[in-house]
Amino acid sequence: MFRRSATARAFATLAAAAALLLVPAVSATAAAPAPGFLTGTDLPPHPTSPWYSDPVTKGLPEFAPFCLDGVLPKAGSWHRRFGTEYDTGAVQVSVRASSPAAAATLVRTLERKVAACAADWLRTTPGGTASWDDYGTLPVEEGAHVYGVHTSIPESEPGVHLYGIGRDGSTVTVVNWGQMGDLSQAPVAAFKKTTTKAVNKLNP
């Protein structure tokens, strides 16, 4: 009887030790690293100002990118904000989804939200004008898509936004660039290069 009890205690001790050894491994797996992010030099050049960048920060930005309020998940997200000495600014938000399928679903949700943004904004902004354009897809990793949205209200400066939405495996990124102006003034060609870089940097 004594020998069996001692053996049982020995097995219990070994099991507890093994469990303790497993905890750091599980924690390390759960704490996924941040995706790769753009730097200021990757953004469309501003004619008279350098780009300034905040650190990459876990979670969503305090204020959601225009058009994307309520659709970006907090879990698995990181962001980085960029600014200039003028009204031009940008933000990149990246999300590590639970699977490639979940990431693909998030991309479709973001694309629908941006495509509907001008119409949604007009419904809540009497007297305003808005338009949008689909600038097409980009052949990078699992694909990327670029859009533009313009909004204006009387007695106020118009605003223009560009969006690059892309995916690499289970990681999704959206880049939002904006300034005063209209779609004719948006640096679409340069922003397509920015979007391609954003997707390529996700999983270096």
Same domain, 50 and 26: no
CATH number assigned to the domain comprising residue 59: 3.40.1000
Same domain, 10 and 102: no
- pLDDT: is 49 or 4 the higher one? 49
Taking CA atoms, 174 is separated from 17, 71, 144, 165, in Å, by: 44, 12, 9, 4
Same domain, 26 and 85: no
Domains held by the chain: number? 2
Q: Which domain holds residue 112?
A: 35-200
pLDDT in tens, 53-94: 999 999 999 999 999 999 999 999 999 999 999 999 999 999
pLDDT in tens, 138-168: 999 999 999 999 999 988 889 999 999 999 9
- Report the share of the chain in percent with pLDDT over 70: 84
pLDDT for 3? 42
Same domain, 99 and 137: yes
Same domain, 112 and 194: yes
Burial level of 188, CB count in 10 A (0-12/13-18/19+)? Answer: middle
pLDDT for 53? 97
pTM reported for the whole predicted model:
0.84
